[in-house]
Amino acid sequence: MILDLFFPNRCIHCNRIIDADLLVCSLCFEHIHFTHFNYFEENGIKEKCKLLFPVENTFALMQFEKENLSRKIIHELKYKSREKAGKVLAEWTTEQLDFKNEKPDLLVSVPLHAKKTRERGYNQLHLFTETLSKFYNIPFDHELIKRNYYSKAQALKDKKHRLETENTFSMTKNISGKHILLVDDVFTTGNTLSSIAWEILNSGNNKVSVLVMAIDE
């Protein structure tokens, strides 16, 4: 395309020209710190979740370390209008995550408040979740959980305010007997996921697992 000639896609780390559907070049890809977590076994995110709510299985794609490439990728996704990065991250996830014969029943991503969605133009988790849904043949529901209050970005909050998630979320309908896979971008304190998980667990005889793009340890 003509636009590709004048405005070629570039690696977000080293600025090399790369294919239009990529985020980073092959050299920089080697610098991404993938977790290689086993979804069904004990791992860093499962240990933290278990302190907050009953959890079945957990997976994090990358380590969210200070100044590393995974942090840059997710910031591009969330704050630089690079929505298509969600599809690339989902594709990387499918290369590492195998549900075997224990697929969850439903994928549910952490919602943004309607005002925040309008400001950003998209929910950074939707394309990621929809790509996973198509690959694994698992339905998704972007409307199951509602965020009740508008707030500034988690990255701009201090730790005290990140802990204040009580009554932040609510269910839009009742579900029961389902295994829900909660999808988020970065696991930090786990309080956002915990708030949503308890809404789901208290709504019926449900089970909850967790999948995130990165874990901040």
pLDDT given for residue 149 in this prediction: 86
Which domains are assigned to the chain? 1-31 (no CATH), 32-215 (3.40.50)
pLDDT, average across residues 195-211: 96
pLDDT given for residue 116 in this prediction: 87
Over residues 51-67, the pLDDT tens digits come to 999 999 999 999 998 87
Average pLDDT of the chain?
90
Closest residue by Cα to residue 46 from 64, 58, 62 = 58
> Is the confidence at residue 162, as pLDDT, over 70?
no
The amino acid that residue 210 corresponds to is V
pLDDT, average across residues 174-191: 96
Q: What is the pTM of this model?
A: 0.89
Distance CA 22, CA 107 (A): 25
Residues 125 and 185 sit within 8 Å (Cβ to Cβ): yes
> Angle at CA 64, nearest 5°, toward 195 and 192?
5
pLDDT given for residue 5 in this prediction: 54
Over residues 122-149, the pLDDT tens digits come to 999 999 999 999 999 999 999 999 999 8
Over residues 87-122, the pLDDT tens digits come to 999 999 999 999 999 999 999 999 998 898 898 899
Distance CA 197, CA 206 (A): 10
> Is the confidence at residue 158, as pLDDT, over 60?
no
Q: What's the alpha-carbon Rg for the chain, to the nearest Å?
A: 17
13: Cβ contacts below 8 Å, ≥ 6 apart: 24, 25, 28, 31, 69, 72
